[in-house]
Amino acid sequence: MSDFFGHLLGLLRVEALSPRHHAVFAAARTRRPAFARHATLESVLAAMADAREETYPEREALTRALVAEMQASSSPAWTAGLAAAYAPMLRRLRRRLLGSAVPREDLDQLVLATFLSVARAFPLSRWGDWTAVRLRQQTAREVFRHLRKERAEQHETYTQAQLAEWLPDTRHATPVESPRRPSVRRSFVKRDAVLVHLARGTLPHSDVEVLMATVVRREKLRAYASRLVEGDADETERTYQRLKRQRTRLMQRLRTQAVDVAAQPSGGC
């Protein structure tokens, strides 16, 4: 687990226990019987840290109260409080994540963002028990599903036949360049260079799709992410951030390749 992740969880605990949230918790005590015996959110976190078997019923009730307040209120006290309460579980999950499919700092964000997203969407009315277990299982399932998807996209490639169905025939096309633009810019890769790279059949499936949508068809990346997810705002944002990183890495490779190709001496006399 990265040191930053532990530091981040510590900062969330500090935020949850900030004096500016005391009034928020005091109001919640009048709505949630589980909070009644706790004068402060710090007392709730102490009770949540007691892992003895006989304390599970109270921890279950406190979890449900924290989730309910998080879903009903925009106060950061509940987001930070729930993350602080489940910090041991989040640390264990983060320690399980190994490999290079996702940068280390992105894994920190993935674990925390996934847990909070699962909690916001948790159906309290449908599932009346084993809330802590369900939160843990759903968070782990979503995190590993995301990582499997990342790894699959890094290794899956199109066949030449599949590429032929995607790409237009550019053998007779004459590239047209504006005299006001250099042929290779830091922020731009020529369309023909992209297509040449695609035709080599070495790009992962997802790279082909992103390039075809955002470079060839000029679709906005956020619009493309929204179209992939179809309505889920949290998932759209996660997808957009992932695609943005993916496309940045890919475009850097393509820029390097285009420069290398341009620097090669041409054949013939």
pLDDT of residue 236: 80
Instruction: Pull the structure tokens for residue 35.
Output: 């909070």
Count the Cβ atoms, other than its own, within 10 Å of residue 187: 6
Residues paired with residue 188 on neighbouring β-strands, in sequence order: 185
Classify residue 25 as exposed, middle or buried by CB count within 10 Å of its CB (0-12, 13-18, 19+).
buried
pLDDT tens column, 187-232: 344 444 455 455 445 566 667 677 777 766 667 788 778 777 776 7
Q: How confident is the model at residue 98 (pLDDT cuts 50, 70, 90)?
A: confident
8 Å CB contact between 148 and 99 = no
Share of residues in the chain with pLDDT > 90 (%): 43
For the chain, report the end-to-end CA distance as a whole number of angstroms: 59
pLDDT tens column, 129-163: 899 999 999 999 999 888 887 776 654 454 555 44
Instruction: Give the closest residue to 167 by CA, choosing from 204, 194, 207.
Output: 194
pLDDT of residue 133: 92
Long-range contacts, 46-50 (Cβ 8 Å, 24+): 48/85, 48/86, 49/85, 49/88
